[in-house]
Homo-oligomer: A and B are copies of this chain.
């Protein structure tokens, strides 16, 4: 499915669009043409129209699309006449094809058959691209998990410092979420995309007894599934595509939110690096002339602006990829709700609820696609700062290890007293701005008890070592990586 004609040029496309998920007028038109051409071939194969009619339609329509003679804008405005653009499109196609092939155009179909089937084609393409992006992003997360398996950092709950983790575990969490959201997406793509073909009211009456056979041939032509029966007012497929996108958006939004937080200058544990040359392809394709938007541009005053930079504030390095992801993902829940609400459709075709699906469905694919493309960039050029991670952890005075120290002392002091002693020392440490170790050893009664119990400073040091309080961190990293290797053995998503 190639883009037909020019692309919608939105002023915010650099953030929300991607060149290869074309849900603009041109993308929809091409998908509708694909559906109509396939239908012409299907009815020919079913013997309902003269031999050659399907091929003639395909040839004529392909040529017209390539030469840009099908005017999207005109079709779009004529949608006002009948409530959708298909009748005008059919008229146009009838004009385009050889007269003897006209009988094969739109044969047995109703407008909804074409629009719904086109939506499935758009979804197949977009979900395939998104799945591929997720796989690439997951590969990168996998490498980050491996590289930072033992890079300790402070874990943070409720935006407060908690106990140590490793950045490898953080990356493993991202990895697992990418793999699981990707698997759900692939499942919907492979099992739930199906041709819609029911005719005026879902009976295919005008095809007599040939309807189901044509439906199967149409599905075969397009590589889509055959539904149990027409799904004109059973919108579960739409909701499932939307929900799979929302799952992806949730995973990507979480990663982007983590990056924006970790990249705060006061934390500084990660930052977005400059995009390597081989990245940014999806964004590049947005250029109207195929040219790449450069990663730097000359600034008004003669300097240059790098990605995420600011001419006025040379210290700024905005996490543009993470921000763009959040700009996309924050819009997904509202679109999901719109599509879920639209599932309540009347009788054999809905008066409004069906129409309300078209643009949101395209927007959802586009936004999820843009976010996944940004995620490939984000992870691919993420710069991790283990030194800063350790520094932030150490700046916590050892308090994140307080629980581990209390466990060390418990056999000697009893559980309650051990906790009490550590709590006292913690308060002391914060008040005096010293480490927990120093605070503990400054309590005379405690030192005496520790001496009696044979617990020396070495053991306390050991308990205060974050690497000794990581629990199952490595196990969890291993599990996420093992699961990822399994998922990689799946066949690639067909394009």
A396 at the interface (CB under 8 A from B): yes
Residues of B within 8 A of A84 (CB): 12, 15
Cα of A376 to Cα of B38 in the assembled complex, Å: 40
Interface size class of A (residues with CB under 8 A): 35 or more
Bound Cα distance A293, B84 (Å)? 13
- The interface stretch among A51-59, A130-138, A349-357 is A349-357
Interface readout for A253-281 with B: 1 if CB under 8 Å, 0 if not? 11011101101111100000000000010
A159, B346: Cβ atoms under 8 Å?
yes
Contact B200 A312 (CB under 8 A): yes
The yes or no answer to A29 lying at the interface (CB within 8 A) is yes
**Contact in complex: A158, B11 (CB < 8 Å):** no
CB distance from A447 to the nearest CB of B (A): 19
Interface centre among A202, A249, A342 (most CB of B within 10 A): A202
Which listed residue (B204, B294, B311) contacts A472, Cβ 8 A? B204
The answer to whether A69 has its CB under 8 Å from any CB of chain B is: no
Which residue of B162, B170, B208, B318 is within 8 Å of A160 (Cβ)? B318
CB contact under 8 A between A318 and B158, given known A204-B471, A250-B236, A345-B254: yes
Residues of B within 8 A of A476 (CB): 202-203, 212, 228-230
Q: A301-B416, A305-B81 are in contact. Are A155 and B203 (CB under 8 A)?
A: yes
Work out how many copies of this chain go into the complex: 4
State whether A156 touches B348 (Cβ < 8 A).
yes
Contact of A228 (CB < 8 Å), options: B24, B102, B479? B479
Q: Is A206 an interface residue (CB 8 A)?
A: yes
Contact A90 B172 (CB under 8 A): no
Which B residues touch A102, using CB under 8 A?
A: 300
- The yes or no answer to A117 lying at the interface (CB within 8 A) is no
Chain B proximity of A468: nearest CB distance (Å): 9
CB contacts (< 8 Å) of A307 on chain B: these are: 81-82
A:459-495 near B, CB below 8 Å: 469-473, 475-477, 479-480, 483
**A331 close to B360 (CB less than 8 A):** yes
Q: Chain B interface: which of A40-48, A60-68, A319-327, A450-458?
A: A319-327
B156 touches A85 (CB 8 A): no
Q: Is the CB of B158 within 8 A of A83?
A: yes
Q: For A91, give the chain B residue with the smallest CB separation.
A: B300
Asked whether, in the complex, the Cβ of B330 is within 8 Å of the Cβ of A353, the reply is yes
Asked whether B236 lies within 8 Å of A173 as measured between CB atoms, the reply is no
Most B CB within 10 A of own CB, among A102, A254, A261, A416: A254
Instruction: Determine if A73 is an interface residue (Cβ-Cβ < 8 Å).
Output: yes
A221, CB-defined interface residue at 8 Å: no
In the complex, how many angstroms separate the beta carbon of A181 from the nearest chain B beta carbon? 6
In the complex, the answer to whether B313 meets A82 with C-beta atoms within 8 Å is no
Q: Is A219 an interface residue (CB 8 A)?
A: no
Cα distance A327–B338 in the bound complex, in angstroms: 11
Q: How far is the CA of A473 from the CA of B407 in the complex (A)?
A: 51
Name A355's contact: one of B15, B88, B316, B426 (CB within 8 Å): B15
Interface 1/0 per residue, A64-97 and B, CB below 8 Å: 0000000111111111111111011011001000
Nearest neighbor of A227 in chain B, beta-carbon distance: B176
- A228 to B478 alpha-carbon distance, docked (Å): 9
Contact check, B234 vs A288: say whether CB atoms are below 8 A apart.
no
Which residue from B11, B29, B349 sits with its C-beta under 8 Å from A11? B29
Q: Which residue of B lies closest to A256 (CB)?
A: B352
Residues 206-252 of A contacting B (Cβ, < 8 Å) = 206-209, 211-212, 228-230, 233-236, 239-240, 243, 246-247, 249-251
Q: Is A434 an interface residue (CB 8 A)?
A: no
Docked-complex contact A177 and B403, CB < 8 angstroms: no
In the complex, 17 of the A-B residue pairs with CB atoms within 8 angstroms, ordered by the A residue number, are: A8-B10, A82-B320, A83-B318, A83-B324, A83-B327, A106-B300, A156-B201, A157-B201, A158-B318, A164-B205, A165-B202, A169-B203, A212-B475, A233-B254, A247-B343, A303-B423, A341-B341
